[in-house]
Chains A and B, each alone.
Chain A
Amino acid sequence: MAGETRKKAGKPSADGEAEGNGVSAASWNGHSGVPVGDEVASGLDESFIYYPPGAYTHEELGFSGDQVLDMYRNMLLQRRFEERAAQMYGKQKIGGFLHLYIGQEAVSTGSACAMEIGKDSVITAYRDHGLGLALGMTPNECMAELFGKVGGSSRGKGGSMHYFKKELNFYGGHGIVGGHIAVGAGIAFAHKYKGDGGVCLTYLGDGAVGQGSFHETMNLAALYETPCVFVIENNEYAMGTATHRAFAQTDFHRYAHSYGMISSLASGMDIFSVYKAMSDHIAQARNNRPSILEVRTYRYRGHSMSDPANYRTREELDARKEEDPIIRLKGYMLERELSSNEEFDAADDEVKRIVMDAVAFSEASDAPPIREIYEHVYSQADYPFLTD
């Protein structure tokens, strides 16, 4: 990986109380109180890279001002889409579970910018709206899926947790924590088997690290040298359980060491940190070197719509909102005069209109016809179902 970005492991804090359990983005940057030499001695230094927030500029990364505005717009689309979805959930237009990604948008957009959409593959868990929209699923098909309408991406059969889009190599959208991780390794295996040059980005939350399937998959992916990046979106809570209450080792990137994989840590609050890290990891994957990228992020909402998030303090939440990835990028752009206030206003208006159009589309879309309940179970056209 690129030498100039290597920091000798400014170890993220696991100090607990003093800084909250997690590591606020601001606290990572060499202020964790842990001597830098620690990791070097452990032998991780050769395979570990830290991508601190605020360390990269768009020029260094090769982005134009317009491209940065596109990134902003994409993140904002996810934010406004989900805010509207939450409202529609309250109006009972959306049923079941609705897990919001709000706060984590830099991870999805930063990744989408780093990959080759259509050539590379993506699979994630149930908090999947952000990645779907970042990859290019339409807000219409995404919202209609939440509404359970035929205009939805899965024709109303999957719902919030099960976005899929084959043309975009988006393999879901999976509801069982940890259940999709090995599937990601299999998709990567297929890229290598077919020799098509693609890689698979497999996203999982911090909670999934506790599943056996995570560890089995890390071993298999490393053993078979599959072109896979495992992205651990560490938002600090598995439902209501803070990482330090669930894991003896809360620096999740360190698990890579057990499987002989390279690893890094990036800030999910800074899209440039995510982009740079993802780009480096994807480059490794193209050479059949699987890796773990831990991204420290934060979800502002509860685990799902029924969760008031009483397990964390108002102060903690407010502090994390100070690091908001969208506000951060906007501040960056204003500071450098990449975009004017008028352009931001226009972007806001456009996104708002797109989301309202998606709601209107979903309202107008039909509920799936009852006969479709027997479709898409099997590819076999004349499967003899036990029907009533």
Chain B
Amino acid sequence: MAVLQLREAIRAAMVEEMERDAGVFLIGEEVAEYNGAYKVSEGMLDRFGADRVLDTPISESGFSGLGVGAAMAGLRPIVEFMTFNFSFVAFDQLVNNAAKIRYMSGGQFSMPIVFRGPNGAAGQLAATHNTAVESLYSYFPGLKVVAPSNPDDAKGLLKSAIRDDDPVIFLESESMYGLKGEVSDARDYMIPLGKARIAREGADVTIVAHQKSYWRAMEAADRLAEAGYDAEVVDPRTIRPLDIETIAASVKKTNRLVVVDESNPFASFSSEVACQIQERAFDWLDAPVMRVTAKDVPAPYAKNLIEYYMPRTEEIVAAAKQVLYAN
């Protein structure tokens, strides 16, 4: 084990997989000579050369499509978006080509490609640079969506994503790149996609939260403990496929559920979890499922407004107390 920043864990996963498989390459804006807009790919150009670490012009649609073609032809591209906000100009490549070509070809062509980059809000960046995309991309059958909350998960999940024969949307976070944590240095350290992690065991209420929201949920669990409530925190890690079994098992134990999600609330990950849990565990629920999400508005710029916009620890505590009828 070594203590790594999130960016270093992601880099370690890419480096190991590129050393292991000559078909893996990295392409994106500023990934090579600039060493990555957020220094995730620092040193990779020197290590692997310009044939395998490629800078692009600002052409998300073009280089995403190039990655799709390369994947169809048997390579394993890692396509970096400087942020996933910029993936929207490449939307057709992700949701039509990457997601559907396997299906439309009757299984003839696999799509072993990873699109990765920062997701969600990162402070006072205003509406177009603060979008959480997990709800959006997990809508599409054919895609897988991964959203790790810590360096160790990031490494293990990214290695699995790179080796996966299906297209994976791998979501990171600008504000978490410096986050440090113990990371396995086992050579083939793989965390399977679609397996949730019970981060904190508890008996009274289940809180489901991923990525940045996970850390808010853990803070909320501490505060709830101070108030005498024992929260269980489940980190889904993968949004699609979703490990609903683990979440449902937790709910059947605690009988109460709060879902925390940085997406806007309408037709989102949180609404999906709420729906599936009422389908699977209605009889076990002692209270309606509560959601804590970004507000139902575009992300604002002003400091106080963006802080209010994001899921906050006190909102999670309040939601948990509400399902516990503790107010």
A174→B92 CA distance, assembly (Å): 12
Interface stretch (choices B104-112, B178-186, B217-225) = B104-112
Interface stretch (choices A211-219, A246-254, A264-272, A355-363) = A211-219
A377→B69 CA distance, assembly (Å): 18
Question: How many interface contacts (CB-CB < 8 Å) are there between A and B?
Answer: 157
> Provided the pairs A171-B72, A183-B97 are in contact, do residues A193 and B62 lie with their beta carbons within 8 angstroms?
no
Task: Name the distance in Å between B24's Cβ and chain A's nearest Cβ.
Answer: 11
A165→B108 CA distance, assembly (Å): 7
Task: Name the distance in Å between B58's Cβ and chain A's nearest Cβ.
Answer: 9
Q: Which A residues are in CB contact (< 8 Å) with B242?
A: 384
The residue in chain B whose Cβ has the minimal distance to the Cβ of A202 is B69
Size bin of chain B's contact surface: 35 or more
A286 within 8 A of B: no
The residue in chain B whose Cβ has the minimal distance to the Cβ of A189 is B70
Q: Is B69's CB under 8 angstroms from A171's CB?
A: yes
Q: Is B104's CB under 8 angstroms from A378's CB?
A: no
Q: Is A193's CB under 8 angstroms from B75's CB?
A: yes
Interface stretch (choices A151-159, A230-238, A340-348) = A151-159
> Provided the pairs A187-B70, A379-B102 are in contact, do residues A217 and B142 lie with their beta carbons within 8 angstroms?
no
B65 within 8 A of A: yes
Q: Is B56's CB under 8 angstroms from A220's CB?
A: yes
B266 within 8 A of A: no
> Provided the pairs A121-B73, A384-B241 are in contact, do residues A217 and B104 lie with their beta carbons within 8 angstroms?
no
A186→B56 CA distance, assembly (Å): 13
Q: Which B residues are in CB contact (< 8 Å) with A165?
A: 108
B68 within 8 A of A: yes
B301 within 8 A of A: no
Interface membership of chain A positions 64-79, coded 1 if the CB is closer than 8 angstroms to chain B and 0 otherwise: 0000000000000000
Tell me the residues in window 44-97 of chain B with beta carbons closer than 8 Å to chain A beta carbons. 51, 54, 56-57, 59, 61-75, 77, 92-93, 96-97
Tell me the residues in window 342-388 of chain A with beta carbons closer than 8 Å to chain B beta carbons. 375-380, 383-386
Q: Which A residues are in CB contact (< 8 Å) with B93?
A: 179, 182-183
> Provided the pairs A164-B108, A383-B241 are in contact, do residues A194 and B68 lie with their beta carbons within 8 angstroms?
no
The residue in chain B whose Cβ has the minimal distance to the Cβ of A384 is B241
Q: Which A residues are in CB contact (< 8 Å) with B164?
A: 379-380
Q: Is B108's CB under 8 angstroms from A186's CB?
A: no
Q: Is B69's CB under 8 angstroms from A186's CB?
A: yes
> Provided the pairs A154-B108, A162-B105, A186-B67 are in contact, do residues A379 and B97 lie with their beta carbons within 8 angstroms?
no
Q: Which A residues are in CB contact (< 8 Å) with B51?
A: 193
Number of chain A residues close to chain B: CB under 8 A? 53
> Provided the pairs A220-B66, A379-B166 are in contact, do residues A186 and B106 lie with their beta carbons within 8 angstroms?
no
A342→B61 CA distance, assembly (Å): 53
Tell me the residues in window 163-187 of chain B with beta carbons closer than 8 Å to chain A beta carbons. 164-166
Q: Is B69's CB under 8 angstroms from A213's CB?
A: no
Task: Name the distance in Å between A201's Cβ and chain B's nearest Cβ.
Answer: 13
Tell me the residues in window 172-202 of chain A with beta carbons closer than 8 Å to chain B beta carbons. 172-176, 179-191, 193-194, 200
A63 within 8 A of B: no
The residue in chain A whose Cβ has the minimal distance to the Cβ of B72 is A171
A188→B166 CA distance, assembly (Å): 21
Q: Which A residues are in CB contact (< 8 Å) with B74?
A: 190, 194
A162→B241 CA distance, assembly (Å): 26
Q: Which A residues are in CB contact (< 8 Å) with B110?
A: 379
B3 within 8 A of A: no
Q: Which B residues are in CB contact (< 8 Å) with A183?
A: 65-66, 68-69, 72, 93, 97
Interface membership of chain A positions 285-304, coded 1 if the CB is closer than 8 angstroms to chain B and 0 otherwise: 00000000000000000000
Q: Is A176's CB under 8 angstroms from B96's CB?
A: yes
B103 within 8 A of A: yes
Q: Which B residues are in CB contact (< 8 Å) with A186?
A: 65-73, 77
B269 within 8 A of A: no
Q: Is B57's CB under 8 angstroms from A187's CB?
A: no
> Provided the pairs A183-B97, A379-B166 are in contact, do residues A158 and B70 lie with their beta carbons within 8 angstroms?
no
Q: Is A166's CB under 8 angstroms from B69's CB?
A: no
Q: Which B residues are in CB contact (< 8 Å) with A375?
A: 107
A200→B66 CA distance, assembly (Å): 12
Q: Is B105's CB under 8 angstroms from A187's CB?
A: no
The 9 A-B pairs of least Cβ separation, nearest first, read A186-B69, A182-B65, A216-B62, A190-B73, A154-B106, A376-B107, A164-B105, A379-B165, A183-B69
Q: A213-B92, A377-B142 are in contact. List 19 more A-B contacts (CB 8 A).
A: A162-B104, A162-B105, A164-B101, A172-B101, A175-B96, A179-B65, A179-B93, A182-B62, A185-B69, A187-B72, A216-B61, A220-B57, A220-B63, A375-B107, A376-B106, A377-B103, A379-B165, A383-B241, A384-B244
Q: Which residues of A contact B (CB under 8 A)?
A: 121, 123, 152-158, 162, 164-166, 171-176, 179-191, 193-194, 200, 212-213, 216-217, 219-220, 223-224, 375-380, 383-386
**Could you name 22 residue pairs across A and B whose Cβ atoms are closer than 8 Å?**
A157-B105, A162-B104, A164-B101, A164-B105, A166-B105, A172-B104, A173-B104, A181-B65, A182-B63, A182-B65, A190-B73, A190-B75, A194-B75, A200-B69, A212-B61, A220-B66, A376-B102, A378-B142, A379-B110, A379-B164, A379-B165, A383-B241
